[in-house]
Structure 1
């Protein structure tokens, strides 16, 4: 199966009242675990290379790795640049084989955010690549505070940017290790009333599973970014492997147990968003 664009997986998800998981990749083991989970369940996923991943491994290398996994999969796999903060970040992703890029202009004035997104969209769409944008600022658990998405700005972005999907801020927070019920459903409804694009919630690990299910079923939220809970599964499995193999210095042997552990958690995540029982 050829790697899919974001549009190819989000449009059907929105129409069918389900959502797709954007899974944060940091290396080979977790990327492989995510794709194995997608294969086992038959559910499409989005492999995401965020700023941390890109700082650790060059984008062209990540692009080849993502495409290698996606092109051999039997289910649609999107290869996505997450939180591109510049035009160059997005263009490098397009040139490196990614099928989707996110331009994060959430800290910019709305007019500038729209203008830059539209420029990226022109190049991306010519290459068959989708573009995700963000309006409103999603904060961090121990960092910058959030700024909720204003419906009037979301409406402008929806109508003028040409983007495929819109990430919004309605109480979701990045890097939450504990789940909270902080989603502002009224704010989400106000955004839905003036937009037609599939909506995206970053910080999905902080949203309780029952709320994710509800949002996937009842709202325009069609993509949840999931990272922290998967990193926790990886870390716990690695600590156990180090304890169980104290005489080993073979990184392959030490890291291998993390694949099944991350895969197991991923299956639960993507089945819940897809409306299938865990």
Structure 2
């Protein structure tokens, strides 16, 4: 990219012909976190302990200690999060060039409205490409489902029924196709995890984690405001902590969008 291109982008941000859309859910003690059945260990919700607040403990400053799971709120999944990617990158090892790339939005909001367990298929992805062009190398594929409307109601967001969670996600064939047939950088969703709620019963179990992380494709979860993005033409910026040995990290996710 030339200096002229950078200058043009700076000008476009200044005159609002390019806008910044925040795709990050607010993070608080009330942020929903995934709930695994026994005997598996669960991540705790965000907790904070106040160190000082303009008082005798620190008269001119306020700060707190945070306890937070790597996979809490809007967060990034590194390959080592899953056994299939155990020899891959931790969060700190991810090349920064892969954290910036074109966004491609596949919108199945209407389908999920009718069926909250809707599964994204290879046919869906191929239909999308026929209408909008091939998914570019290095792109972030974002699966829009409308699930963000539940983001501040933990019960509705996790949507656990008698047979387990009922949330949308990709089927096993779609994740294998993305991992083997396309060179995407990452896959993002509005739900609590990149897999569908029923994915523990798929073959293989949790195929988004298994196929994508195993192929070095990153994950993003609990995204917001995907409806403000065009189908193609936005630039995604993903900013996890540079956490050594991190399997994941809460992240700020932004999109640069033509006005």
TM-score category of the 2 structures, normalised to the smaller one: 0.3 to 0.5
Greater RCO, CA 8 A, separation 6+ = 2
Point out the structure with the larger strand share. 2
Point out the structure with the larger helix share. 1
Rg bigger for which structure? 2
Superposition TM-score, scaled by structure 2 size: 0.32
Superposition TM-score, scaled by structure 1 size: 0.30
